[in-house]
Amino acid sequence: MSLQIIHARAYQQKDTTVALEDFLEVSEFYCDTIQGEGVTTGVPAAFLRLQGCTLNCVWCDSKSVWRHGNRFTFNELFELMNNADLPRKLHEGQHLVLTGGSPLMQQDKLAAFLDEFIKIYDFKPFIEVENECIILPDPAFTSFRVFYGRMVDLWNNSPKLYNSGILRKYRYKPDVIKYMSLLGNSWFKFVITYEEDDWGEIKKDFLEPELIRKDQIILMPRGETFEELKKNQAFVVRTAIENNVRYCTREHIVLWDTTTGM
């Protein structure tokens, strides 16, 4: 039996009835910008950043944002989105990027919120999820629905390497990584520095055990500031070319440096 069929059944058995008074813990929301990283770099995008993360990477440049947040009821979130004219913008092609921290820490409520969005506005936007590959996604995100297919259109997975400063036992979850890889609409974006043997680690921990495919890999330079990005990027481009995998920059850092919420 395929993964998708198991998921479809599990989803049918779930009671997804929610009240609009249900809530999400939100760190920030903004739209009319671009996706700065990964395979959809440059696509117009809106970001919903949820509070909290499973990890605490040494070079994380969003931790000052995801550590804080406020409780928003679904109604309040819809109001916020309406005020920004977001439904129209999403309908016209902006991607909705669910990010954090770790959005899957609130996945039950997040799935319920997206279901409500689709019911109210009568369409499903293109949804991307940033995922550090620690938590298995709920079937609500991965199973096929009759009218629009899968809830999540793109998984921007970013498993962390030694250079994150996180102990391996906390950041390396082979079962989750393999599961994400098999979903099909998954990319694996690795933050690379010139100081460590990051490519050696990717080969040993991800490719040799066949957790992911090489054509799912994106190498991205570490760079919390434009200066630091410049320092790493030539090395990372070379590593990507030598190993025949995709490279991406951090376009928001190139454009706006350390300013957040752009």
Contact pattern for ligand SF4 over residues 130 through 169, marking x by CB under 6 A: --x-------------------------------------
CA distance 227 to 215: 29
Instruction: Give the whole-angstrom CA distance, residue 144 versus residue 3.
Output: 11
CA distance 202 to 160: 10
Are the C-beta atoms of residues 255 and 262 closer than 8 Å to each other? yes
Contact residue for ligand SF4 among 34, 55, 105, 182 (CB under 6 A): 55
Opening angle at CA 54, ends 53 and 55, nearest 5: 90
Smallest gap from Cβ 187 to ligand SF4, in A, equals 15
CB of 191 to ligand SF4, least distance (A): 8
In the shown chain, the binding pattern of residues 62 to 81 toward ligand SF4, with x for contact by CB under 6 A and - for none, equals xx--x---------------
Measured at the CA of 121, the angle between CA 118 and CA 126, to 5 degrees, comes to 55
Which of positions 86-125 make contact with ligand SF4 (CB under 6 A)? 100-102
Does 198 sit near ligand SF4 (CB under 6 A)?
no
Question: At closest approach, how far in Å is the CB of 106 from ligand SF4?
Answer: 14
* Interface pick for ligand SF4 out of 26, 31, 46, 57 (rule CB under 6 A): 57
The CA-atom distances, in angstroms, between 167 and each of 37, 57, 162, 212 are: 25, 10, 7, 21
CB of 16 to ligand SF4, least distance (A): 27
Q: Is 53 near ligand SF4 (CB under 6 A)? A: yes
According to DSSP H, which parts of the chain are helical?
A: 3-12, 63-66, 74-83, 86-92, 107-121, 139-142, 168-171, 174-182, 198-202, 226-242, 251-256
CB of 119 to ligand SF4, least distance (A): 30
State the residues that interact with ligand SF4 by CB under 6 A. Answer: 53, 55-57, 60, 62-63, 66, 100-102, 132
